[in-house]
């Protein structure tokens, strides 16, 4: 009997306390924000207890407390599964959320609804934790929908701006398409395995698990912005920077990947679905890396970078390495959140300027942000022995030395070098050269509320990879031997990307800006995907439904087929065949005289 279950439940309960306090007067005071931040900090510290116990003794727990309902043979209860994945994810998520909350005290300082913002962030965190600790699919779905809703509310935070509302709606729509896949899997599990509990699903050995796994892949594609369902992620940058940092870099978008990781016992026996996930991930990572090359908004570049890394995580799942994907989730969260916080610092200091063509020369002005930005970009590209190295390099190694699809591998490698290219673009356009912003900006980074979160995440970006991979119990046999050229593949691709980017930057930075070529247009307009897909299918579907419902059914079938046709035919026929002059009285009179004469003559002829 140890503190395991108590700590977990305490963590989860502690996070709901500020929400319950929001109905009191305390909610309106200035101290609410610090209260929320401190609660998150305490939750982080307490959640370290079960994690340490897990690392030490590999103790996993299944907490099943409240039996909710039994429908026929389906028993639904409130159950939390604290295993490898959820125990390692909780401290990471809480740490990052704590840093982001401290940052957003500084960033959203002048917002009148700042307390509501913190409440939304907290509700988001709680639903994310529900998602990761869920033991049955119903609870997971509650968390899933919860993060979708909070994403909507937070993206549309500045709801007076029509772009923000459009982006929030777009996020909801794309997530909904993924939810169809999720519901399909839930129904399949319900009808074939009679359960929504993960334990029973993994225990029963089914022959073909194609349908539920494809449904889950669709759900992951919707939530984690894979190709085909990806445009909502760059549009979601309409929300404030803390929202982008929390939702769209670390926690929400990894929910889809997390779902697939949870189902790894099913995935490891199903080769076709693995191949599909691999291809989808490879396509996503390359496509979004291409789109990131020519964007001009710093947040969008980082959003595409997130999308590319999510594709990489999908590739890892497709290689049957769920634990590596999970490691990449945890490490990626650190440096991506830090990149977003640095961009938030730059944006706020330049008076809400987000276009990198109007930034420059911040190298000397914001030294700390510069440090963090460069470190984050290097960690992102997989610089040896920073955080990204421990997960990204392992992924590339596993990819190059496994019996897998060569095309997917090629795409992933190209995307790795593109990562280096757009990282260089960010660094050189925002930090180096001369300033391109208006000169009267008061730029400072002296506020500790800004510095401390970035400092913590910086330390995390440097050391977290090392700490995590040394403390995570290995669940698969790591790859020990490979040829030298395969080992150095990731490094060589990254160095290639850096060299290419620096070369092109150096020789062309003082030339005239050229007219955008076709390739540049393709990349900037996101591959024309939103342009086509947001106009054409809705137009087609709506026109088709209008033609079907109104024109065909209503006007034609119930109105024009019999009644109007009959009337029309009669009219035409009578017009054609009649050559009468309308002398009715004459006709009637002649009829009468004929009748009389006939009757009289027959009477007399008798």
SS3 call for 88: helix
User: DSSP code of 511?
Assistant: S
Distance CA(152)–CA(243), nearest Å, equals 11
- DSSP string of 165-197? HHHHHHHHHHHHHHHHHHHHHHHHHHHHHS--B
Residue 514 or residue 582: which is nearer to another protein going by CB? 582
Q: Which one, 504 or 595, has the nearer CB to another protein? A: 595
Please identify, using beta-carbon distances, which residue of 548 and 589 lies nearer to another protein: 589
| C-beta neighbour count of 579 within 10 angstroms | 5
Does the footprint of another protein cover residue 112 (CB under 8 A)?
no
Q: Is the separation of the CB atoms in 85 and 257 below 8 Å?
A: no
Binding flag, residue 585, another protein (CB under 8 A)? yes
Instruction: Please report whether residue 606 would count as binding another protein according to CB under 8 A.
Output: no
Nearer to another protein among residue 26 and residue 591 (C-beta): 591
Match 């699919």 to its residue by tokens: 137
Cα dihedral sign for 577, 580, 581, 582? negative
We find the least distance from the C-beta atom of residue 571 to another protein, in angstroms, to be: 8
Q: Would you give the binding string for another protein spanning residues 553-582, x where CB under 8 A is met?
A: ----------------------x-----xx
Q: Between 207 and 601, whose beta carbon lies closer to another protein?
A: 601
Smallest Cα–Cα separation from 122: which of 146, 157, 158? 146
Which two structure tokens, joined as six digits, stand for 457? 């995440």
Candidate ranges 408-416, 427-435, 468-476, 586-594; the one touching another protein (CB under 8 A): 586-594
Residue 75 bridge partners (DSSP): 70
Cβ atoms 84, 475 nearer than 8 A: yes
Q: Which is nearer to another protein, 512 or 581 (CB)?
A: 581
Ramachandran sector of residue 427 (left: φ over 0; alpha: ψ -120 to 50; beta: rest):
alpha
Q: How far apart are CA 51 and CA 351, in angstroms?
A: 41
- Beta carbon of residue 562, minimum distance to another protein (angstroms, whole number): 17
Categorise residue 305: left if φ over 0, alpha if ψ from -120 to 50, beta otherwise. alpha
How many other CB atoms sit within 10 Å of the CB of residue 121? 23
Residue 79 and residue 497: Cα distance in Å, rounded? 47
Show contacts with another protein in window 464-503 (CB under 8 A).
none
Q: Identify the residue among 9, 204, 592, 600 touching another protein (CB under 8 A).
A: 592
In this complex, which beta carbon is closest to another protein, that of residue 515 or of residue 581? 581
Region from 35-43, 154-162, 303-311, 590-598 binding another protein, contact rule CB under 8 A: 590-598
Kindly tell me which residue out of 173, 589, 597, 600 binds another protein, with binding defined by CB under 8 A.
589
Q: How many residues bind another protein (CB under 8 A)?
A: 11
Contact 487, 397 (CB under 8 A): yes
- Least Å from the CB of residue 554 to another protein: 25
Kindly state the smallest distance separating residue 575's Cβ from another protein, in Å: 7
- Interface with another protein (CB under 8 A), residue from 521, 588, 597, 600: 588
| Spatial contact of 259 and 216, defined as CB atoms under 8 Å apart | yes
- Considering only the stretches 61-69, 440-448, 516-524, 589-597, report the one whose residues sit in contact with another protein under the rule CB under 8 A: 589-597
First to last CA, the chain: 126
Q: Measuring CA to CA, how many Å separate 217 from each of 129, 309, 327?
A: 21, 17, 20
> Which one-letter DSSP state was computed for residue 236?
G
Closest distance to another protein from the beta carbon of 559 (Å): 19
Q: Which is nearer to another protein, 65 or 570 (CB)?
A: 570
Q: How far is the CB of 582 from another protein (least distance, A)?
A: 3
CB atoms within 10 A of CB 96: 29
- Among 591, 597, 598, 600, interactor with another protein by CB under 8 A: 591
User: Least distance to another protein from the beta carbon of 170, Å?
Assistant: 55
User: With respect to another protein, which residue has the nearer C-beta, 569 or 583?
Assistant: 583
Q: Which is nearer to another protein, 511 or 575 (CB)?
A: 575
Query: Min. distance of Cβ 556 from another protein in angstroms?
Result: 25
Part of the chain binding another protein (CB under 8 A), chosen from 165-173, 258-266, 306-314, 588-596: 588-596
Among candidate residues 422, 408, 409, 322, the one with its CA nearest the CA of residue 376: 422
The nearer residue to another protein, 535 or 564, going by C-beta atoms, is: 564
Strands 61-71 and 74-82: antiparallel
Question: Considering the complex, what minimum distance in angstroms separates the CB of residue 605 from another protein?
Answer: 20
**Residues contacting residue 509 through CB under 8 Å, at least 6 positions apart:** 428, 433
Question: Could you give the CA distance from residue 279 to residue 3 in angstroms, rounded to a whole number?
Answer: 44
Whole-number Å distance between alpha carbons of 148 and 248: 11
Give me the least distance between CB of 584 and another protein, in Å please.
Answer: 6
Segment contacting another protein (CB under 8 A): 134-142, 185-193, 350-358, 587-595? 587-595
CB of 565 to another protein, least distance (A): 18
Contact map string, positions 517 to 556, toward another protein, x by CB under 8 A: ----------------------------------------
Helix axes 254-262, 137-155, angle to 10 degrees: 170
Selection from 419, 425, 559, 550 nearest residue 491 by Cα: 419
Nearer to another protein, 407 or 587 (CB): 587
- The binder of another protein chosen from 584, 604, 605, 606 (CB under 8 A): 584
Residue selected from 561, 583, 597, 600 as contacting another protein according to rule CB under 8 A: 583
Which string of b and e fits 480-489 if b means at least 16 CB within 10 Å? eeeeeeebeb
User: What is the contact surface with another protein in residues (CB under 8 A)?
Assistant: 575, 581-585, 588-589, 591-592, 595
């Amino acid at each position: 009997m140890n503190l395991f279950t108590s700590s977990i439940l305490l963590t989860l309960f502690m996070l709901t306390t500020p929400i319950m306090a929001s109905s009191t007067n305390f909610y309106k005071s200035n101290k609410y924000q610090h209260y929320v931040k401190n609660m998150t900090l305490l939750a982080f510290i307490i959640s370290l207890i079960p994690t340490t116990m897990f690392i030490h003794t590999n103790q996993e727990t299944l907490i099943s407390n409240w039996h909710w309902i039994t429908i026929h043979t389906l028993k639904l209860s409130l159950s939390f599964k604290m295993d490898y994945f959820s125990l390692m994810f909780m401290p990471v998520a809480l740490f990052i959320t704590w840093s982001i909350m401290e940052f957003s005290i500084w960033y959203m300082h002048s917002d009148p609804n700042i307390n509501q913002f913190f409440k939304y962030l907290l509700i988001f965190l709680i639903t994310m934790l529900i998602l990761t600790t869920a033991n049955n699919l119903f609870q997971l779905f509650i968390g899933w929908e919860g993060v979708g809703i909070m994403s909507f509310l937070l993206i549309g935070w500045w709801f007076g701006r029509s772009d923000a509302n459009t982006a929030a709606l777009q996020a909801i729509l794309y997530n909904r398409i993924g939810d169809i896949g999720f519901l399909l899997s839930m129904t399949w599990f319900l009808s074939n395995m009679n359960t929504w509990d993960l334990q029973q699903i993994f225990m029963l050995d089914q022959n073909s698990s194609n349908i539920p796994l494809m449904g889950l892949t669709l759900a992951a594609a919707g939530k984690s912005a894979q190709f085909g369902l990806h445009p909502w992620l760059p549009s979601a940058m309409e929300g404030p920077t803390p929202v982008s940092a929390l939702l769209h870099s670390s926690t929400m978008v990894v929910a889809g990947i997390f779902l697939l990781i949870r189902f790894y016992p099913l995935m490891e026996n199903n080769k076709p679905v693995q191949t599909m996930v691999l291809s989808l991930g490879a396509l996503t990572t390359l496509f979004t890396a291409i789109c990131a090359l020519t964007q001009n908004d710093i947040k969008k570049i980082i959003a595409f970078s997130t999308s590319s890394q999510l594709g990489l995580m999908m590739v890892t799942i497709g290689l049957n390495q769920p634990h590596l994907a999970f490691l990449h989730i945890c490490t990626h969260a650190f440096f991506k959140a830090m990149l977003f916080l640095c961009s938030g610092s730059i944006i706020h200091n330049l008076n809400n300027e987000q276009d990198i063509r109007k930034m420059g020369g911040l190298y000397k002005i914001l030294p700390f942000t510069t440090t963090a930005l460069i470190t984050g970009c290097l960690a992102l590209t997989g610089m040896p022995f920073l955080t990204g190295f421990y997960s990204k390099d392992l992924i590339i190694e596993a990819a190059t030395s496994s019996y897998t699809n060569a095309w997917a591998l090629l795409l992933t490698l190209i995307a790795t070098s593109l990562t280096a290219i757009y990282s260089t673009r960010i660094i050189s356009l925002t930090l180096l050269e001369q300033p391109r912003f208006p000169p009267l900006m008061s730029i400072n980074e002296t506020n500790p509320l800004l510095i401390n979160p970035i400092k913590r995440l910086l330390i995390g970006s440097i050391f977290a990879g090392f700490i995590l991979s040394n403390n995570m119990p290995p669940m698969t046999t790591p790859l020990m031997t490979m040829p030298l050229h395969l080992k150095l593949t990731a490094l060589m691709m990254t160095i290639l990307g850096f060299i290419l980017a620096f070369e092109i930057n150096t020789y062309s930075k003082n030339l005239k800006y050229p007219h955008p070529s076709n390739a540049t247009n393709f990349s900037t307009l996101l591959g024309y995907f939103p342009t086509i897909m947001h106009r054409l299918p809705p137009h087609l579907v709506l026109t088709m439904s209008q033609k079907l419902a109104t024109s065909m059914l209503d006007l034609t079938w119930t109105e024009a087929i019999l009644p109007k046709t009959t009337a029309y035919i009669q009219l035409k026929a009578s017009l054609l065949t009649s050559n009468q002059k309308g002398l009715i009285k004459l006709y009637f009179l002649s009829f009468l005289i004929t009748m009389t004469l006939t009757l009289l003559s027959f009477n007399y002829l008798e």
